[in-house]
Amino acid sequence: MTDEVRRGAVLTPQASARLDEAVSLFARGEYHACHDVLEDLWREDGSPVRDIYKGVLQVGVAYWHAGRGNLRGALRLAVRGVEHLVPFMPSAFGLDLATLVEDVRHASRLWEEAAMRGDSAPDVPSPRLVRATSPRPEE
C-alpha cells in the first residue's frame, strides 16, 4: 500500500463513530454484530482502504468459527483477513493493525496444530483490536 493511499484514508465523522462501534463490539467478542457494522462501512467505501474493514471482519468471523469448533473455517478466514490488513500495517484509521495481526497469527498456529492432531479448538487469547497510541516502527 502506498503512502499516498494511506494518507488519503480519512474517515468521515459518521464513519469514525461507526468504526468505534465496531471496535467496541469486536473487543466484547460480538463478532456477528461487528461484522454487520464493518460490512456496511465496506460497502459504502469504494477506496482501496476498504480492505481494512474486510480484514477485521474476516478476523472476527475466524474467531467466531474457532469458538464453534470449525478450525478449518477459522484458519481460512484468518489467513484472508491478515492478507487484507498487512498492506496497511502498522496502523490505519488509528487502529493498531500490527498487534491484531500478531494475535491472529499466534491463534492460527494454535488452531492449525490442534487441527492436525484432530483436537478441538484450543483456548486462545482474544484478539486485540485497539487504537494505536503511537507509531510503531516498520517491521
pLDDT recorded at residue 12: 86
- What value, to the nearest 5°, has the Cα angle with vertex 14 and ends 12 and 20? 100
Q: Which domains does the chain have, with CATH numbers?
A: 12-117 (1.10.3450.10)
- Residue 3 backbone class (left: φ over 0; alpha: ψ -120 to 50; beta: rest): alpha
Per residue in 27-47, pLDDT (tens digit) is 999 999 999 999 999 999 988
Per residue in 79-136, pLDDT (tens digit) is 999 999 999 999 999 999 999 999 999 999 999 999 999 999 999 999 999 987 644 4
pTM for the full model? 0.86
108 Cβ partners below 8 Å, 6+ apart? 74, 75, 78, 79, 82
SS3 content of the chain, % helix, strand, coil (to 5): 65, 5, 30
pLDDT at 2 exceeding the cut of 60: no
pLDDT recorded at residue 10: 73
